[in-house]
Structure 1
Amino acid sequence: MEGAPETGSARKSSALAGGPPSRARGARGRGKRTKGVFLKALGAAIKGNVEREWFGSPPHRAAISRPRPVGLAAHPHDPRPVDPERGRQLLDGLMVLDGGALRLGETGDPFDQPSPTRQFAAALHGFDWLPHLLAAGPGSARLALRLLQDWRRVFGTWNVFSWSGERLERRTFHLACAAKALAPEASDAEIAAMALDIARGARQLLKASDAPGRKLERAVVVAIAGCALTGKVSDRLMVQGLKRVSALLDATVLPDGGHASRSPQAGLELLFDLLTLDDALGQRGRPAPEGLGRAIDRLSSSVRFFTLADGCLAAFQGGEAVEPRRIAAALAHDDHGPRPPQAAPHVGYQKMQGGSLQVMADAGPPAVGALSAAACAQPAAVEIVFGKDRLITSCGWSPEATGANAFRLSDAASTVSVGDGSAGRPLSGWRAEALGPWLIDGATEVEVKRHDADVGVWLDIIHDGWRRLGLTHARRLYLDIKADELRGEDSLLPVGSANPDGPRRYLPFSVTFHLHPDARASLARDGKSVLIKGPSNVGWWLRNDAVDVHIAPSAHFDHGHARRAGAIVLKSQVRPEKGAKIRWKLARAADH
């Protein structure tokens, strides 16, 4: 699959293991990559314009409408948890989605009035409200059928926003899962309309090229749609969808269960979809494609690996800290799965477990190409948990927080930043419109060394994310199990053949520790040490040898909404020709 990252251990370059390339060679390489992105964006822009014109044309609309499906068959079960209260609110005339709320009244049409936010509109057209509504009890099916008719009247023919991206994918998925439950309350005409909506959505997913990073997810939805229908349409969609699923599974689900995008949340959501597909195929008596069971097992193990001691998912690479209820629902099929390892080298993460501290470290390069649309330029970032207290985290940015691409940069995670730059950046302008907000110029070479002993765990991460400044970042972590403390050393090392006796040039650099919104920090009288406390009120001292220390305001995203948080910033300066370092230690404060 295009953009699938190599494993961290496999991507050791001469720059890290044997001798760095010169700056001139690095500049030429960056120039080639920039030209390559430009040409891909140009091609995608031309193709996108042609597709939009064609997809809205009568011949195409007729093509995806024929042959018509005969009726409904399977009732695929989506294991994602639902919130009946949201459904009851909708029955009372209030539609609540992650992007806000909209008052509808008894007969209001949400599709014929402005949405409060773009996020709300995406969830609305993705039919995210449908499973919650069906769980609300009497009257829900009738209201759902009316809302489907409202959508069909306004957007059922064609609309660029509603018929593209994850809106189309999720809408087709939710309809396929809900149609059989709605059928007892529906007329023959309404059943035929639902079946046609599912078939048209699945056929469009097979033809559109607007989400190349979600090829597997789209193929899974096509196969589920085929299971939900009957007749030749059903057989054709199942064959086409399962053929693509088989071809894409191993490229997307890595050997350690990580998703090729490196987002823990993306792996969790894919697991839900694959479980739904497995259930639908079982209902239809169809054999699952080779590799489906293996992918489910691997993803389940990966979800366990990424679940931290506070019960939530690690928030890295465009994934949020998903709540325990959702994680439990994904793992309910396999309650007694094997204990996950402490390392996931293929997807590029390392976990360290001490007496009471737990550390998760990003130890791989960000995804590239189409898979990098939500990737973050935050190499060697860490999250630190004490018991149920998540103390140190990142800003938790995800694509739900639309328009906040600054939170994908280095200083939005608990890692090192140099100057006012970042170890990678998302595309912007027309290139982002054509390709999506791919991450470019990120770290490409990451070397990881780990040593486990009875007394503690050593972890060394070295990456080239700051190569344009002639620097390599080396983060050394030691988790002392007996002392129950974490020691860290962040070094910026010169690369290339710079003259250490040349003109002096200093750059500011910082080591940032983002606090979880439920954690608080206070600066000690010495102006250097920082006391951190989580909800349990247990204190932890962060001591360091930085030149300057301060606590700055920050933000942390939950479901795309920013919560107020803080960040501890350790500051110093680096001369690229000589390098520099900051040492720090997190140790439990004495009980008062």
Structure 2
Amino acid sequence: MTGAPATPSASRPAGRPLRRGVVLSRSVAASARAAVEREWFGSPPHRAVISSPRPVGLSGRPHDPRPVDVQRGRQLLDGVLTLHDESLKVGTEGDPFDTPSPSRAFAVALHRFDWLPGLLVHGPEGARRALRLIQDWRRVFGTWNAFSWSGECLERRTFHLACAAKTLSPGASDAESAALALDIARGARQLMKASDAPDRVLERAIVVAVAGAALVGKAADRLMAEGLRRVAREIDVIVLPDGGHAARSPEAGLELLFDLLTLDDALGQRGRPTPEAVSRAIDRLSSGLRFFTLADGKLAAFHGGETADPARIAAALAHDDHGPRPPMDMPHAGFQKMQGGMIQVLADAGAPPVGALSRAACAQPAALEIICGKDRLITSSGWSPEAANAQAFRLSDAASTVSVGEGSAGRPLSGFRAAALGPWLVDGATSVESRRHDGEQGVWLDIVHDGWRRLGLKHARRLFLDLAADELRGEDSLIPMAEAKLDGPRRYHPFKISFHLHPDARASLARDGKSVLIKGPSNVGWWLRNDAPDVAVLAAPHFDHGHARQAGVIVLKSQVRAEKGAKIRWKLARATDH
């Protein structure tokens, strides 16, 4: 591919990589701390600490703007509980907490009270059923249970209860209302003491502040003050200046925006001003959400984030329908967007996060999402933490980027370290640079990273979006690193470029054995032409909320020697004869 070199647009260095000895020491410390917390949190003295002082009563009704699944609530009233795309027949008077859950994911959603908002939209009947279910939960798990009181369940349960309590109280007795208020206060205090999720310190601080706003009395004021103090400490660390989330997951930014909007509403109901940092973060996240919303109306899927549907995105932006048009790049978050007539490209042009914020990060630098018209054709495997047992899909070959040999440009922790810290991503790219040039003829984008430094190679991805022809040209090069010290014999490494297809897209190999025709739901054809020695169209899974769907992947294959390098060129253009 020829043309003038791109001018600098953004250069995003990785966070400082963690040495293996540091990871081990942190694992030992986290494991020891978790063991101490398990013993202490279940003890009577700790339960007394988080139960005092008692809140006087219930105050506001914080509004969570997330769309509510009305059908889920109706099904539960009819005796069927559906969570995480799984169903459990409990009957109209049944107790799901006394019945084995069909999966761990179902159990987490059950104890998070994810069913609560769907019940409340059904008026007094739904509120009565919700009160009964909360009492069933409290009878068995209200004192302490390691699973039900884990941060994974507790954070969202406290949030849901804080938003629902005032709606539940008209049908509750005085004792039931007092128990609801205490459940909220105890949950918020427990969240402040647990250390199990350092990547969610901001989200938990927001929940604590929302909980305080939903209650009355000195206990409420203390919770609100402490929650807001912690929010102020963390918010500018997690919400980047361009509106990205520090975890680099578009969905994480969306969910954080929902929580901040709930906090803003809760403070307004209590007559408290919203802190300037919170208002600023809401504006930034709203701009970031517009950037990550692609031409098919859904969210881009990177670093463990799912594709949110248009209704969910619209709900998050309802507070600001006429916000400014988002830019074409997010230099702090590390993403670049290219827009042609029908082709839209979103490229991961940053390094994966490190440490606690990498629990859902993927080792897929320079990965692409490509929309043609309104068809999402090129994407990734769609991995998210909901597919918890599929960590291999966080590796390089599970996204639309380059992979070399059997390795990956980073890997998740496993074994003891993962059990102690979570599946942090390690050994990822330490230097990622992007250069962009917008010209009259088109847009140039260069991304270079050192994720393959152990093999003595850098990956350079050059993209050119031709605005006149409305076609995307790509060149993926593996470049020898002059400073690399290679051990052992010189040999060829297989390498490939993967183009993962969305489940709604299909591809067929042409007679020449090189060109691939891709079509989406609109049935418009697009040719992927290339100069790779070997081309294949293979089956591959695509995850949707943790469930695997059948999809495909186009693989362009070649070989590379570390001292020589190699490249493959490709082009995506509309098929005029199909």
Residue in structure 1 matched with residue 13 of structure 2 by the alignment:
11
Question: In 2, are the aligned partners of 1:423 and 1:442 still within 8 Å (CA)?
Answer: yes
Distance in 2 between residues matched to 1:529 and 1:591, nearest whole Å: 14
Residue in structure 1 matched with residue 176 of structure 2 by the alignment:
190
Residue in structure 2 matched with residue 527 of structure 1 by the alignment:
513
Distance in 2 between residues matched to 1:229 and 1:498, nearest whole Å: 60
Amino acid at match of 2:568: I
Q: CA deviation at 1:558?
A: 1.6
Question: In 2, are the aligned partners of 1:498 and 1:577 still within 8 Å (CA)?
Answer: no
The runs of at least 4 aligned residues of structure 1 exceeding 4 Å deviation read: 497-500
Residue in structure 1 matched with residue 523 of structure 2 by the alignment:
537
Q: CA deviation at 1:154?
A: 1.2
Residues 227-286 of structure 1 deviation map (CA, whole Å, 9 limit, x = unaligned): 000000110000100000011110000000000000000000000000000000000001
Distance in 2 between residues matched to 1:400 and 1:235, nearest whole Å: 35
Q: CA deviation at 1:559?
A: 1.6
Distance in 2 between residues matched to 1:409 and 1:141, nearest whole Å: 45
Q: CA deviation at 1:499?
A: 8.9
Alignment of 1:108 onto 2:94? yes
Residue in structure 1 matched with residue 445 of structure 2 by the alignment:
459
Residue in structure 2 matched with residue 550 of structure 1 by the alignment:
536
Amino acid at match of 1:43: A
Q: CA deviation at 1:341?
A: 0.0
Amino acid at match of 2:506: R
Question: Helix, strand or coil for the counterpart of 1:291?
Answer: helix
Distance 1:109 1:550, change over 3 A: same
Alignment of 1:85 onto 2:71? yes
After TM superposition, the structure 1 = structure 2 runs for residues 465-480 of structure 1, keeping only pairs within 5 Å, are 465-480=451-466
Q: Which of 341, 356, 359 is the matching residue for 1:373?
A: 359
Question: In 2, are the aligned partners of 1:544 and 1:585 still within 8 Å (CA)?
Answer: yes
Residue in structure 1 matched with residue 288 of structure 2 by the alignment:
302
Question: In 1, are the aligned partners of 2:14 and 2:350 still within 8 Å (CA)?
Answer: no
Alignment of 1:266 onto 2:268? no
Question: In 1, are the aligned partners of 2:12 and 2:334 still within 8 Å (CA)?
Answer: no
Alignment of 1:279 onto 2:265? yes
Distance in 1 between residues matched to 2:316 and 2:14, nearest whole Å: 34
Residues 25-67 of structure 1 deviation map (CA, whole Å, 9 limit, x = unaligned): xxxx98x701110000000000010011100111001110111
Question: In 1, are the aligned partners of 2:475 and 2:567 still within 8 Å (CA)?
Answer: yes
Amino acid at match of 1:542: L
Distance in 1 between residues matched to 2:388 and 2:207, nearest whole Å: 24
Amino acid at match of 1:447: E
Residue in structure 1 matched with residue 123 of structure 2 by the alignment:
137
Distance 1:8 1:206, change over 3 A: farther
Distance in 1 between residues matched to 2:368 and 2:340, nearest whole Å: 15
Aligned alpha-carbon RMSD (Å)? 1.6
Question: In 2, are the aligned partners of 1:8 and 1:446 still within 8 Å (CA)?
Answer: no
Question: Helix, strand or coil for the counterpart of 1:370?
Answer: helix
Q: Which of 433, 444, 467 is the matching residue for 2:419?
A: 433
Question: In 2, are the aligned partners of 1:389 and 1:534 still within 8 Å (CA)?
Answer: yes
Residue in structure 2 matched with residue 579 of structure 1 by the alignment:
565
Question: Helix, strand or coil for the counterpart of 2:97?
Answer: helix
Q: Which of 147, 160, 163 is the matching residue for 2:149?
A: 163
Residue in structure 1 matched with residue 342 of structure 2 by the alignment:
356
Distance in 1 between residues matched to 2:310 and 2:12, nearest whole Å: 33
Residue in structure 2 matched with residue 4 of structure 1 by the alignment:
none
Distance in 2 between residues matched to 1:238 and 1:504, nearest whole Å: 62
Question: In 2, are the aligned partners of 1:176 and 1:198 still within 8 Å (CA)?
Answer: yes
Residue in structure 2 matched with residue 518 of structure 1 by the alignment:
504
Distance in 2 between residues matched to 1:345 and 1:208, nearest whole Å: 33
Residue in structure 2 matched with residue 488 of structure 1 by the alignment:
474
Q: CA deviation at 1:403?
A: 1.1
Question: In 2, are the aligned partners of 1:83 and 1:135 still within 8 Å (CA)?
Answer: no
Amino acid at match of 2:195: S
TM-score normalised by length of structure 2: 0.97
Amino acid at match of 1:11: P
Matched positions, count: 570
Question: In 2, are the aligned partners of 1:12 and 1:447 still within 8 Å (CA)?
Answer: no
Question: In 2, are the aligned partners of 1:74 and 1:280 still within 8 Å (CA)?
Answer: yes
Q: CA deviation at 1:8?
A: 6.3
Residue in structure 2 matched with residue 173 of structure 1 by the alignment:
159
Residues 405-448 of structure 1 deviation map (CA, whole Å, 9 limit, x = unaligned): 11111011000010001100000111111101100001111010
Distance in 1 between residues matched to 2:276 and 2:80, nearest whole Å: 44
Residue in structure 2 matched with residue 61 of structure 1 by the alignment:
47
Alignment of 1:344 onto 2:344? no
Unaligned runs of 5+ in 1: 1-6, 14-28
Residues 328-387 of structure 1 deviation map (CA, whole Å, 9 limit, x = unaligned): 000000000000000000000000001110000000000110000000000000000012
Residues 304-348 of structure 1 deviation map (CA, whole Å, 9 limit, x = unaligned): 000000000000011011111100000000000000000000000
Answer with 161-170 or 41-50: which moved more: 161-170
Residue in structure 1 matched with residue 227 of structure 2 by the alignment:
241
Distance in 1 between residues matched to 2:176 and 2:110, nearest whole Å: 20
Q: CA deviation at 1:83?
A: 1.4
Question: Helix, strand or coil for the counterpart of 2:57?
Answer: coil
Distance in 2 between residues matched to 1:102 and 1:448, nearest whole Å: 49
After TM superposition, the structure 1 = structure 2 runs for residues 311-322 of structure 1, keeping only pairs within 5 Å, are 311-322=297-308
Question: In 1, are the aligned partners of 2:10 and 2:435 still within 8 Å (CA)?
Answer: no
Q: CA deviation at 1:137?
A: 3.5
Q: Percent identity?
A: 74
Residue in structure 1 matched with residue 198 of structure 2 by the alignment:
212
Unaligned runs of 5+ in 2: 1-8
Q: CA deviation at 1:496?
A: 3.3
Q: Which of 225, 230, 236 is the matching residue for 2:211?
A: 225
Question: Helix, strand or coil for the counterpart of 1:145?
Answer: helix
Residues 451-488 of structure 1 deviation map (CA, whole Å, 9 limit, x = unaligned): 00121100000001111111100000000010010000
Question: In 2, are the aligned partners of 1:119 and 1:402 still within 8 Å (CA)?
Answer: no
Amino acid at match of 2:136: D
After TM superposition, the structure 1 = structure 2 runs for residues 403-414 of structure 1, keeping only pairs within 5 Å, are 403-414=389-400
Q: CA deviation at 1:503?
A: 4.7
Question: In 1, are the aligned partners of 2:14 and 2:353 still within 8 Å (CA)?
Answer: no
Distance in 2 between residues matched to 1:536 and 1:562, nearest whole Å: 23
Amino acid at match of 1:190: E
